Amino acid sequence: MTALILLLLAQSPKVELPAELQARPGRLIQITAKSENKVVKWFLANGDADLIVMESTRTAIFSAMESGQYRIVAYTAAGDVPSDPSICVVTVGDGKPGPILPTPESDPFAKSLASIWGGLQEPNRIANKSALTEVFRQAIALADDKRFLDLGAWNAAVKRLRAEKVGDDKLVAIRERIAEELGALGDDAQTAFGPELRAKAKSICGRIVAALEALK
């Protein structure tokens, strides 16, 4: 009987996140979950930050523009048996909360994408939306690439990535609205891609990812 109990305990699904992490405002950090199970699910308890889960589901990229403490929850399952949740507290900046930023439910940009999406009838729109979402996930990482010295170089890299994953004739209205949002970065390709502009680019791309993911 003791051996059976130990065997069942050993087979219980588990996931483990680091208990605490530190981050700077506007900077990306990678969070890794340890688990023997196939899929890890993630949940961001604070709506004013970005959490982008990688395809493997073992890692996620976190970013928050404002100082504060952010709770990230991960869990997994084996068959019908769920794991206990694992919680990571990320302290951004001095840990003091800043102003509340818009969530997809209150963000005018997200609402405009939802309006366009509702009238879109083109085939394979779900697959193309997923591909476009991945473009902007990668754009967040590209914003930290020091090889891009000016805004034009980063924009060109994002456009090349989009062309590889989403055809020029796909989701045109959605992409045009996204381009308007990215216009907040400025239209001078030679603008130095410094820390503030990189942080702004990551914030906008994070909102784009969140808005695209909210489209059903």
SS3 letters for the chain?
CHHHHHHHHHHCCCCECCCEEEECCCCCEEEECECCCCCCEEEECCCCCEEEECCCCCEEEEECCCCEEEEEEEECEECCEECCCEEEEEEECCCCCCCCCCCCCCCHHHHHHHHHHHCCCCCCHHHHHHHHHHHHHHHHHHCCCCCCCEHHHHHHHHHHHHHHHCCCCCCHHHHHHHHHHHHHHCCCCCCECCHHHHHHHHHHHHHHHHHHHCCC
The predicted-structure confidence for 44-76, as pLDDT tens digits, reads as follows 876 678 889 888 889 999 998 888 888 898 888
Question: If pLDDT is split at 50, 70 and 90, which confidence band does 129 have?
Answer: very high
Q: Which of 152, 159, 156 is nearest to 197 (CA)?
A: 152
pLDDT at 195: 87
**Cβ proximity of 154 and 189 under 8 Å:** no
What order do you get walking across the sheet with 59-63 strand by strand?
Answer: 29-32, 59-63, 50-53
Nearest-angstrom CA–CA distance, 38 and 28: 25
Question: If pLDDT is split at 50, 70 and 90, which confidence band does 150 have?
Answer: very high
pLDDT at 154: 97
The stretch 137-149 carries a mean pLDDT of 88
Q: Would you tell me how many other CB atoms lie within 10 Å of the CB of residue 212? A: 23
> Over 80: is that where the pLDDT of 94 sits?
no
> Over 60: is that where the pLDDT of 191 sits?
yes
Question: If pLDDT is split at 50, 70 and 90, which confidence band does 102 have?
Answer: low
Nearest-angstrom CA–CA distance, 96 and 30: 22
Mean of all residue pLDDT scores within the chain:
86
pLDDT at 97: 60
Bridge partners of 50? Answer: 63
> Over 60: is that where the pLDDT of 99 sits?
no
Q: Which two tokens stand for residue 159?
A: 């456009």
pLDDT at 7: 46
The stretch 172-197 carries a mean pLDDT of 94
The stretch 108-125 carries a mean pLDDT of 92
The stretch 157-173 carries a mean pLDDT of 95
pLDDT at 178: 97
pLDDT at 177: 96
Residue, of 94 and 106, whose pLDDT is higher: 94
